[in-house]
Chains A and B, each alone.
Chain A
Amino acid sequence: MKRVLWILLPVFIIVHGSCSKLVEVAPPVTKLTKDKVYATDIAAISVVASIYSGMSDYFLDFAGNIGTLNLYASLYTDELSYFKDPLINSNVVAFYTNKLTSTTFGSEYWAVAYGQIFNCNAALDGISNAQSLTPSVKKQLLGELKFLRAFFYYHIVNLYGDAPWVTTTDYSVNSQVARTPAIDVLRNIRNDLREARELLSDQFLDGTLLKPAIKNRYRVSTHAAAALLAKVCLMTGDWTEAETAAGDLIANTALFKLDTLNGCFLTNTPEAIWQLQTVRSYTPLEDANRFIMPAEGPSNSYPFFISSMLLNSFETGDQRKAKWIDTVRADNKLYYFPFKYKSKEASADPKEALTIFRLADIFLCRAEARMQQDKLQDAIDDINQVRHRAGLIDLTSMGKAALKDAILKERQVEMFTEFGARFYDMKRLGKIDDLMPAICQAKGITWDPDKALFPLSAIDIDRNKNLIQNKGY
């Protein structure tokens, strides 16, 4: 018996000793684990790069990415119309006729933005707990993520109204969340943006986050945070803060000034506050790719043209109509199409970049903030800066109500096909129910005030009983 035990003992030791190694499986070699991703500067930067690339990598055929607002939000209001080809994508018709539903089109922006918000939250969690990052890199990345999360929420609130305020990555929490009132979401992102302004660099950094980029403004800086803060404060009614944030950008003449009409969408224009780098060398920018109509005229592939409502809003002599809109004559009809982005060449080093924030927008934001504080002449001065560049004469003094209309009109001709600006402006200035009935009548439809918000997806409503659908859907 004793002998048997002596034989068994080494066997027992071998089996026992190897046990923990066998049970603990090593992580897969093709993927990175969380602790490695946030251990080095380059890996942490690459996580944030995935958010930028996600924003930049889209096609206009499908709504969802913020960049596609240039098409779909413009169809929804009075900026774009389309060639009535029977094979036109049904989502184009749905947005143009305001016929969005919970099961067809309209909820795409919600899903894409919350996907990006998850990425922001995951990276915020990882980077704030990271110990080995260069302090300046860590600070910049945290600022970028707070900014980016605020940016996605800004669009969610503008498109859908009240929205669940999600700040974790825990699916068990995030699948039960109820909608937070829009004003509270806006206050939350205003606070995040205040923080982001402190965290972010005042330079346009390159991919290392250690030195300035050469001739590009592809990274979020404290200036982008100021721009978004000004826009958010216009929605929350923080007029003085909106004026100051916009004013900081306008005063920074070393970095920012109004460019020529042909120059202000080029890479490294002094007008740009934040642009996105293309991540595809094989296609031009989507706006140029899909809006520039070929000489043969409109077709199923190039159906979009500027509506007569927008065309008629340009004053005589407005250079923006000449420089930012081009025409094609087909079947004895003149088609006008957006021509802010002019290059149909695909390139790894393109001359133009998708411009998210630019100084002219900020001048008009400050005009609005000043108008709201009854500083009417100051507001008119800001509008006139933008009008000069377009070759128009100065506005003369007017009352507050007239000035509000003047701001809306100036924004209409300055900001068309830029990230739903027209749709957001009409809502923010309380004019949507005044303007849309006539717009809809011209389109052959009827305006329903509930359509100021897009629908949530029926699938989301099914999967979260705390989530309430928007009225009218």
Chain B
Amino acid sequence: MIFSEENWFRKAIRFIDFAKIRANYGTTGNDQIGDYNYMDLYQPGYEDLPYQGVRSTGVSRIPNPYLQWEVTRKLSMGFDFSLLKNRITGGISYALNRSGNQLVNYNLPSTTGAANVLKNFPGLVQNTQWEFTLGSINLGKGAWKWSSNLNLTIPKSKLVRFDNLEESSYARDLVIGMPINIVRVYGFAGLNKETGLYQFYDKNGAVVDFPNRNVDNVGIIKLDPAFSGGLQNTISFKNFSFDFFLYFKKGMLNDLAITGGRRPPGNFGNMLTTVLDRWRKPGDDAGMMKLANESQTAYTYLYAFLSDKAYTNTFFVRLKNVNLAYSIPASIVSRAGITSARIFAQAQNLKVWSNYHGLDPENPGLPDNLPLRTTIVFGLQVSF
């Protein structure tokens, strides 16, 4: 409803140019799955020498005759406005999606003969999202022009219901009431100054060298971002124009550079500089465990990978785009028979400010995951 169009509103509040509230509700499905998954299908093999001359036929995947459509119910509400002769515009929106029966590759133990089967997910997942946008024209008249746009997104997900979770193959992956995207971790208890190896907390809080697998991993890390957003600024002065876009995000990220890299430190291959701060002799208070043969350190290292030490609550700001352009005045170029000419420079991924230890918080995980590429383009655009 656009209530700024109502007569009573126009008379009462003059500085608001436009105001609207909206709400939607609907139901959708999903057909983004492969065809024929409910059927018992076989496909020919590709052996070089068929067995006794008979080309093989194998089961193509575990069939699931019980497939149904997945259903998502969506509710969204919003408020949009503009004021001060459209110099400030903005909006707030809220969306609530509840999905059930999603078609997922349901994990199976190997006694079934396969790693997963396409199945209706026996649970209900709720996703909510707040979105805020604000745009302003800071300078609008004269030679200088400057406008900004800010947006902010706060997503949340929650597992509302899951039938028989404890009996299912998701018993160790999901918790009712928690987001879908979680990981269970062991508590990291620092370095043992005597042995040079990492220590952990067991489920009762006691410090141990090796936690009990799948018993002591009582910590939960939520992997969904807390919020993300962007800020766009466009500035122009006569024929010059300059704009840049900042992207920011906060959330827990897997940060294996802290624990020492792809494999236990001491192996062949490149090392991170973090190994310089390693344990060397009893009594050392170091950040990284000792360098040793993999057979001595593999377990400790594995648990460090699976502990809360391997995650960083990251906040980063990325200078994602910068554009600078100059339009050569028509009075100059027209003498050469040119309609318009423009010189520009564009850059992407110029800089990231963050507390993340790996190379790039947008490609997290292993420390040698490559960062997003920085590209810089210079150009001249001419039209005749």
Contact across chains for A43 and B214 when beta carbons are under 8 A apart: no
Contacts of B295 in A (CB 8 A): 93, 97, 99
CA distance A427 to B8 in the complex (A): 92
The answer to whether A465 touches B171, judged by C-beta atoms less than 8 angstroms apart, is yes
A463 and B36 within 8 A (CB): no
A42 and B54 in contact (CB under 8 A), knowing A175-B169, A457-B110?
A: yes
Cβ of A166 and Cβ of B52 under 8 Å apart? no
User: CB distance A279 to B49 under 8 Å?
Assistant: yes
CB–CB A57/B47 < 8 A: yes
Number of interface residues of B (CB under 8 A): 48
Q: Are A122 and B117 in contact (CB under 8 A)?
A: no
Q: Is A47 in contact with B169, judged by CB distance below 8 angstroms?
A: no
- Find out whether the CB atom of B41 lies under 8 angstroms from the CB atom of A32: yes
Write out the residue numbers on chain B whose beta carbons fall within 8 Å of the beta carbon of A32: 41-43, 57
For A171, list chain B residues within 8 Å (CB): 62, 64, 108, 112, 114, 117
| Cβ B111 vs Cβ A465 within 8 A | no
B214 to A207, Cβ gap below 8 A? Answer: no
- Stretch of A107-115, A332-340, A431-439, A446-454 that contacts chain B: A107-115
Which has the most chain B C-beta neighbours within 10 Å: A37, A42, A46, A102?
Answer: A46
Interface: A460 (CB within 8 A): yes
Cα–Cα, bound, A31→B58 (Å): 10
B105 → chain A closest CB, angstroms? 12
- Complex Cα spacing A177 to B109, Å: 10
B82 to chain A, nearest CB (A): 48
Q: How far is the CB of A141 from chain B (nearest CB, A)?
A: 12
Q: Is the C-beta of A255 less than 8 angstroms from some C-beta in chain B?
A: no
Interface of chain A residues 70 through 122 with chain B (CB within 8 A): 86, 90, 93, 97, 99, 101-104, 110-111, 114-115, 117-119, 121-122
CB-CB under 8 A for A174 and B169, given A43-B57, A49-B54, A218-B51: no
User: Chain A contacts of B31 at CB under 8 A?
Assistant: none
Evaluate whether A277 and B51 lie within 8 angstroms (CB atoms) in the complex, with A114-B111, A460-B111, A464-B109 already known.
yes
CB pair A465–B55 under 8 Å, yes or no, is: no
Q: Which of these, A27, A119, A282, A459, contacts B48 with CB under 8 Å?
A: A282
B163 within 8 A of A: no
Which single residue of chain B is at the shortest CB-CB distance from A94? B295
Residue B60 at the A interface, CB < 8 A?
yes
- A133 interfacial by beta-carbon distance below 8 Å: no
In contact, B112 and A49 (Cβ under 8 angstroms): no
Within 8 A of B (CB), among A5-37: 25, 27-28, 30-34, 37
| Pairwise interchain contact B169-A50, C-beta atoms closer than 8 A | no
Using known A-B contacts A31-B36, A110-B110, determine if residue A458 contacts B214 with beta carbons closer than 8 Å. yes
Partner of B42, one of A47, A102, A464: A47
Q: How many angstroms from the CA of A42 to the CA of B41 in the assembled complex?
A: 17
Are the C-beta atoms of A278 and B49 separated by less than 8 Å?
A: yes
Contact across chains for A460 and B109 when beta carbons are under 8 A apart: yes
A388 and B296 CA atoms in complex are apart in Å by 48
A32 to B44, CA, bound (A): 9
Picked from A54, A57, A464, the residue with its CB within 8 Å of the CB of B111 is: A464
For residue B194, CB closer than 8 A to chain A, the reply is no
Contact partners of B337 in chain A: CB under 8 A? none
Q: Which of B49, B110, B114, B302 contacts A460 (CB 8 A)?
A: B110
Provide the residues of chain B in CB contact with A57, threshold 8 Å: 47
Q: Contact at B48–A279, with CB atoms within 8 Å? A: yes
Interface residues of A in 45-59 (CB under 8 A from B): 45-47, 49-50, 52-54, 56-57
Contact of A34 with B42 at beta-carbon distance under 8 Å, contacts A279-B51, A465-B167 already known: yes
Known: A279-B49, A465-B171. A37 touches B110 (CB 8 A): no
CB of A206 within 8 Å of the partner chain? yes
Indicate which residue in B48, B59, B268 contacts A281 across the interface (CB closer than 8 Å): B48
Per-residue B-contact encoding for A213-250, CB less than 8 Å = 1, 0 else? 10010110000000000000000000000000000000
Q: Pick the contact of A34 from B40, B64, B117 — CB < 8 Å?
A: B40
CB pair B109 A175 closer than 8 Å? yes
In the complex, which residue of chain A has the Cβ closest to the Cβ of B302? A103
Q: Which residues of B contact A121 (CB under 8 A)?
A: 113
Say if the beta carbon of A280 comes within 8 Å of chain B: yes
Query: B45 contacts which chain A residues (CB < 8 A)?
Result: 49-50, 53
Q: Which residue of B lies closest to A466 (CB)?
A: B167
| Cβ contacts under 8 Å, A90 to chain B | 294
CA distance A176 to B106 in the complex (A): 14
**Alpha-carbon distance between A323 and B295 when the two chains are bound, in angstroms:** 37
* B339 contacts chain A at the CB level, 8 A cutoff: no
B166 on the A face (CB < 8 A):
yes
The A/B interface has a contact count, at CB < 8 Å, of: 166
Of B50, B111, B167, B268, which is within 8 A of A279 by CB? B50
Q: Answer yes or no: A440 CB below 8 A from chain B CBs.
A: no
Interface flag for A322 (CB, 8 Å): no
Interface of B is mostly: loop
The reply to whether the CB of B35 lies closer than 8 angstroms to some CB of chain A is yes
A56–B47 Cα distance when bound, in Å, is: 10
- Which B residues are CB-close (under 8 A) to A330? none
User: Does any Cβ of A come within 8 Å of B11's Cβ?
Assistant: no
Which residue of the partner chain A has the closest CB to B110? A111
Across-interface contacts of B110 in A (CB, < 8 A)? 110-111, 114-115, 457, 460
User: B298 to chain A: which residues have CB within 8 Å?
Assistant: 104
**B112 and A174 contact, CB distance less than 8 A:** yes
Q: Give the contacting residue for A46; candidates B49, B55, B112; CB below 8 A.
A: B55
Q: How far is the CA of A445 from the CA of B48 in the complex (A)?
A: 43
Q: Are B54 and A28 in contact (CB under 8 A)?
A: no
The yes or no answer to A462 lying at the interface (CB within 8 A) is yes
A41 CB to closest chain B CB (Å) equals: 10
CB-CB under 8 A from B48, the residues of chain A are 279-282
In whole Å, how far is A185's beta carbon from the nearest beta carbon of chain B? 13
B41, B44, B299: which contacts A33 (Cβ < 8 A)?
Answer: B41
Is the CB–CB distance between B52 and A119 below 8 Å? Answer: no
- Chain A residues with CB under 8 A of B43: 30-32
For A86, the chain B residues whose CB sits under 8 A away are: 268
B107 interface residue (CB < 8 Å to A): yes
Most B-side CB within 10 Å, residue of A111, A164, A277, A464:
A464
Given contacts A114-B113, A119-B113, contact A31 B60 (CB under 8 A): yes
- How distant is the Cα of A103 from the Cα of B214 in the complex, in angstroms? 12
* CA distance in complex: A15, B58 (Å): 40
Interface string of B16-52 (1 = CB under 8 A from A): 0000000000000000000110011111110111111
Chain B positions within 8 Å of A219 at CB level: 52
Extra contacts besides A174-B112, A277-B49 (12): CB < 8 Å: A32-B41, A33-B42, A45-B54, A56-B51, A86-B268, A103-B302, A114-B110, A171-B108, A174-B113, A175-B111, A206-B52, A277-B51
Q: Which residues from chain B sit less than 8 Å from chain A, CB to CB?
A: 35-36, 39-45, 47-60, 62, 64, 107-114, 117, 166-167, 169, 171-173, 213-214, 268, 294-295, 298-299, 302
List 24 contacting pairs A-B, 8 Å CB cutoff, sorted by A.
Answer: A25-B35, A30-B43, A31-B36, A46-B56, A49-B54, A50-B57, A52-B51, A86-B268, A90-B294, A115-B110, A118-B114, A169-B113, A171-B112, A174-B111, A175-B112, A207-B53, A216-B52, A218-B51, A218-B52, A279-B47, A279-B51, A280-B49, A462-B214, A467-B109
Shortest 5 CB-CB contacts between residues of A and residues of B: A118-B113, A207-B52, A50-B56, A463-B169, A34-B40
